[in-house]
């Protein structure tokens, strides 16, 4: 019977015996958790096509960007080739916001979540699922959220900067945030297309509008007071936080004006810098220096955006994070996995650390 080297390493990392008792050992500093990877379940792809998303030369497009081919086997194989030990998987934009019927949205959410659950059961020490919610349908989303977190024991939740124009921060989402806050849940927020597609000037919306939609969501969470109301939700924004490291002081400054509510500048900056930001497409020296200055090492997590970002780009990006950011070995351990384990304690439990 052949046993892979990876299986041996994972076993050694998970537990060891000390004086006859099980002792959980810390992970090696190079152990890498990817908080930003996507699955493309066939049932979701089929629903997108049925909803009218275009297929050109056999390729499905969402937000004017090609949806790549994906299989579970290829996902695991790519993780191996990239040196990614564990991934949290989620569905990318547009999520389920294209479904106007609440019952239909909830039904598809359940089907996709059960499929992701099956993926994680097939690879329990490699994959953890982030719940897909049928937003903007709030009542249905609360029910699905409780099912995923309390019954399926998902490690976290996937949300979007906006769902068909309903941005995070909107008061209608308070019931969702109440559930998340009570459970101190970890949430990965992927950007989505803004309602006005013309601002993309005919280019694919992910090119620049995704990073800016993350800013819109964080800005709305600040100005609406929703983030301050539910501070125990641990939230990740991808792509280095979009443009937030560069715009936070501007937003805070304007929010301090009487017409904007007269908020405290230091408190606003503290809130805007209180999120976790991943490294997907954000591994240049300029980006990492800004992140290190804005949020510190304890709030940077590893993200790849596979399979939407080509593997060749990810292969080039992951090895240069340490040098471009000027991080030491201890700091890289936090970025590689330590911070992610704090956001998703159920992953730590699965890994035995």
Average pLDDT over residues 316-325: 98
pLDDT at 17: 32
* Any domain includes 353: no
* Any domain includes 95: yes
Which tokens hold the place of 7? 């299986």
State yes or no: pLDDT of 22 exceeds 60: no
pLDDT at 273: 98
State yes or no: pLDDT of 36 exceeds 70: yes
The number of distinct structural domains making up the chain is 1
* Any domain includes 25: no
* Any domain includes 5: no
pLDDT at 196: 87
* Any domain includes 6: no
Question: Which residue range is the domain that position 326 belongs to?
Answer: 31-345
pLDDT in tens, 145-159: 999 999 999 999 999
* Any domain includes 19: no
Q: What is the CATH number for 312?
A: 3.20.20.140
**In contact, 108 and 99? CB cutoff 8 Å:** yes
* Any domain includes 227: yes
pLDDT in tens, 222-271: 999 999 999 999 999 999 999 999 999 999 999 999 999 999 999 999 99
* Any domain includes 13: no
pLDDT at 8: 34
Going by C-alpha positions, the residue among 210, 204, 270, 275 that lies closest to residue 239 is 210
pLDDT at 5: 36
Give pTM, 2 decimals: 0.92
């Amino acid at each position: 019977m052949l046993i892979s080297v990876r299986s041996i390493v994972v076993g050694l990392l998970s537990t060891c015996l000390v004086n006859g008792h099980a002792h959980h050992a810390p992970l090696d500093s190079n152990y890498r958790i990817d908080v930003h990877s996507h699955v493309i379940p066939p049932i979701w792809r089929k629903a997108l096509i049925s909803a009218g998303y275009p297929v050109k030369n056999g390729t499905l497009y969402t937000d004017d960007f090609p949806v790549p081919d994906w299989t579970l086997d290829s996902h695991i194989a790519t993780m191996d080739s990239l040196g990614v030990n564990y991934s949290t998987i989620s569905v990318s934009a547009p999520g389920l916001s294209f479904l106007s019927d609440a019952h239909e949205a909830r039904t598809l959410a359940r089907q996709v979540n059960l499929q992701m659950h099956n993926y994680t059961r097939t690879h329990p020490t490699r994959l953890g699922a982030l719940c897909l919610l049928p937003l903007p349908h709030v009542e249905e989303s609360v029910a699905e959220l409780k099912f995923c977190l309390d019954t399926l024991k998902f490690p976290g939740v996937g949300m979007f900067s906006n769902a068909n124009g309903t941005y995070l921060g909107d008061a209608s989402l308070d019931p969702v945030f109440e559930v998340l806050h009570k459970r101190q849940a970890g949430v990965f927020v992927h950007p989505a297309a803004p309602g006005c597609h013309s601002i993309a000037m005919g280019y694919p919306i992910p090119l620049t509008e995704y990073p800016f939609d993350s800013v819109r969501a964080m800005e709305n969470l600040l100005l609406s007071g929703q983030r301050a109301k539910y501070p125990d939700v641990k939230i990740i924004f991808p792509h280095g936080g979009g443009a937030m490291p560069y715009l936070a002081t501007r937003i805070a400054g304007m929010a301090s004006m009487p017409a904007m509510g007269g908020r405290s500048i230091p408190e606003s900056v503290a809130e805007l810098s209180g999120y976790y930001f991943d490294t997907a497409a954000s591994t240049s020296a300029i980006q990492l220096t800004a992140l290190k200055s804005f949020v510190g090492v304890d709030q940077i997590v590893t993200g790849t955006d596979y399979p939407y970002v080509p593997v060749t780009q990810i292969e080039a990006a992951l090895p240069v994070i340490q040098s471009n950011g000027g991080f030491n070995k201890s700091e890289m351990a936090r970025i590689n996995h330590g911070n992610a384990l704090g956001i998703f304690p159920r992953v730590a439990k699965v890994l035995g650390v």
